[in-house]
């Protein structure tokens, strides 16, 4: 239960599923398992990409950064979520809430751009195989990643500053599981129509522009694969792209459902479960999607396990 002295607490109360203790206990166990798998899977990807010479390619360089983003995002949200699920205290400090908001926005924005860059990398590998090493050289890949991080971190900083300046008039009860822009705007005691429109357009830009680049890249990739006569060649080309496409589908599907849908189309509990899927399940699935469908990664894993 939430303490009655809510007006004297400078942080926030994240209600989550406080009215359903059995559900909270079940979610606690499930989320602990998923979080441990997230740590294991993503750390393994980063470790392998750094140490195995066979994985010193642009694809795995980008994948290691994707794994690092997933680690940052889940570590900024899941420990606090588990703390709130395991007992009656549903609090988060003001600073903790701001950090959650900033990291979530930064990692989401950065991942949007990185997934687009990975699609361009796949385009170069399939459509320009003879020039791939020249196009995607190490310095260019590093420049792309730096640009991605700077854009995501800067965009998140602007968004976070704008949101925390919205007057709340002492309102600090958040009926959600994380600190996110839509739920924080609901605490405002002033008209937030302009903020909501700004959120919609920024989200649309960060989601749709990279997605358009991804679709264009895969349009050219599809044409190139269609022209390949040998079935073995087609299978190899499809194998290099299928994992990335699954990750794109998971990321953009949940992100679009969360940030571009009308607020009246889903219930509050549905929004909470969608946030849990986006923030807990998706980061867990990403490394396993790449691992299970990739011979190079599976070979590197067997080599690592054999040395252990």
**Alpha-carbon distance 227 to 200, whole Å?**
40
147 or 47, greater pLDDT: 147
Poorest-confidence range of 155-164, 259-268, 288-297? 259-268
Minimum mean pLDDT among 28-32, 108-112, 246-250, 294-298: which range? 294-298
- Residue-wise pLDDT for 115-164, tens only, equals 999 999 999 988 888 888 999 999 999 999 999 999 999 989 988 988 88
* Weakest-pLDDT range from 1-10, 16-25, 77-86, 200-209: 1-10
Q: What percent of the chain has pLDDT over 70?
A: 87
Nearby residues of 29 by Cβ (< 8 Å), 6 or more positions away: none
pLDDT of residue 5: 47
Query: For position 234, what pLDDT does the model report?
Result: 72
- Paired with 97 in beta bridges are none
Q: Tell me the C-alpha distance between 60 and 66, whole Å.
A: 9
Closest Cα to residue 254, out of 273, 236, 269, 241? 273
- What does the pLDDT read at residue 164? 85
Domains of the chain: 10-307 (1.20.1070.10)
Q: Which of 17-26, 27-36, 45-54, 290-299 has the highest mean pLDDT?
A: 27-36
pLDDT band at 4 (very low <50, low <70, confident <90, very high): very low
Instruction: Give the C-alpha separation, 149 to 165, whole Å.
Output: 24
Q: Cβ neighbours of residue 4 under 8 Å, at least 6 residues apart?
A: none
Q: Name the most confidently modeled range: 92-96, 181-185, 248-252, 259-263.
A: 92-96
| pLDDT tens profile 78-116 | 999 998 888 778 888 989 999 999 999 999 899 999 999
Task: Return mean pLDDT, the chain.
Answer: 84
**Any long-range contacts for 261-264 (C-beta under 8 Å, 24+ apart)?**
263/182
Tell me: pLDDT of 231 over 80: no
CA–CA separation, 193 and 187 (whole Å): 13
Q: How far apart are CA 142 and CA 139, in angstroms?
A: 5
CA-to-CA distance for 56 and 169, rounded, in angstroms?
53
Question: pTM to 2 decimals?
Answer: 0.86
Give the DSSP per-residue string, 214-233: HHHHHHHHHHHHHH--SHHH
Distance CA 279, CA 178 (A): 9
């Amino acid at each position: 239960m939430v303490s009655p002295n809510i007006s004297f607490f400078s942080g926030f109360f994240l209600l989550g599923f406080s009215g359903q203790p059995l559900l909270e206990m079940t979610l606690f166990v499930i989320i602990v398992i998923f979080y441990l798998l997230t740590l294991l899977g993503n750390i393994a990807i980063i470790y392998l990409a750094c140490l195995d010479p066979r994985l010193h390619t642009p694809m795995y360089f980008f994948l290691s950064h994707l794994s690092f983003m997933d680690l940052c995002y889940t570590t900024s949200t899941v420990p606090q979520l588990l703390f709130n699920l395991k007992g009656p205290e549903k609090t988060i400090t003001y600073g903790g809430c701001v950090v959650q908001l900033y990291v979530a926005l930064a990692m989401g924005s950065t991942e949007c751009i990185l997934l687009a860059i990975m699609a361009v990398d796949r385009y170069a590998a399939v459509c320009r195989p003879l020039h791939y090493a020249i196009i995607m050289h190490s310095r260019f890949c590093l420049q792309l990643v730096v640009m991605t991080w700077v854009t995501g971190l800067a965009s998140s900083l602007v968004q976070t500053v704008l949101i925390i300046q919205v007057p709340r008039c002492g309102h600090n009860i958040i009926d959600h599981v994380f600190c996110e822009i839509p739920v924080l705007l609901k605490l405002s005691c002033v008209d937030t129509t302009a903020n909501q429109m700004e959120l919609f357009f920024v989200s649309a830009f960060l989601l749709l522009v990279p997605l358009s680049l991804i679709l264009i890249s895969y349009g050219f990739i599809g044409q190139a694969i269609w022209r390949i006569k040998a079935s073995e060649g087609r299978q190899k080309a499809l194998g290099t792209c299928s994992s990335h496409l699954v990750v794109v589908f998971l990321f953009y599907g949940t992100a679009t459902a969360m940030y571009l849908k009308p607020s009246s189309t889903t219930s509050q509990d549905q929004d909470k479960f969608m946030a849990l899927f986006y923030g807990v399940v998706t980061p867990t699935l990403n490394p396993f999607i790449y691992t299970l469908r990739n011979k190079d990664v599976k070979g590197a894993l067997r080599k690592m396990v054999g040395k252990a």
